[in-house]
Structure 1
Amino acid sequence: MTALLLPARITMNDARATLAALQPQLQAATAPVLDASALAELDTAAIALLLECQRQARAAGKPLQLVGAPPKLAQLATLYGVGGLLGL
């Protein structure tokens, strides 16, 4: 298991750079785990980023697990109907 730590902030301003930083790690991991426990400031861009990570992992035939999701992330995912896709 390879834990990939998400930053404390993922907003519209940060999402593109965060995804660029995560992509090589996602590709290198055989069963990536995204650790969202440090995530304190987020908006809907965080949901989009996580869905893209999930898409990339599935395309590579890898399981992706999300752990340590803060309540706000789970609330946003539920609001947009993608909580199940993210395992929340």
Structure 2
Amino acid sequence: MIERQDGRLLVMVPMIMANARGLLDAGRSALQQGEVVFDFSAVDEADSSAIAVMLGWLRAADVVGARVNFAHIPAGVRSLAELYGVTDLLPLA
């Protein structure tokens, strides 16, 4: 679901409801102290569950002392974040 490549965590599956729990758990497991970049460049499909997963990763990052950034956010997810009023909560690289 998530692969470590070039110092980034590359999300390899669609960010949809069916994958949300697995993505949340995989992202939590991959977190380390320091800066972590979740890269969505391989994501070809996403729904509103992507926002919930991203917020869950941010909460988990606080626990382990990590700083999370999100790169290559799909346009639809960015639009949903604006619609829900959470854009300022998502650190976009």
Unaligned runs of 5+ in 1: none
The structure with more strand, counted as a fraction of residues: 2
Identity %: 36
Aligned to 1:64: 68
CA shift, 1:74, in A, is: 0.6
TM-score by length of 1: 0.86
Contact persistence 1:2–1:31 (CA under 8 A) = no
Aligned to 1:55: 59
Unaligned runs of 5+ in 2: 1-5
Q: Pick from 17, 20, 28 the counterpart of residue 23 of structure 1.
A: 28
Contact persistence 2:17–2:47 (CA under 8 A) = yes
* Runs of 4+ in structure 1 over 3 Å off: none
TM-score by length of 2: 0.82
Q: What one-letter code is carried by the residue in structure 1 that aligns with 2:51?
A: I
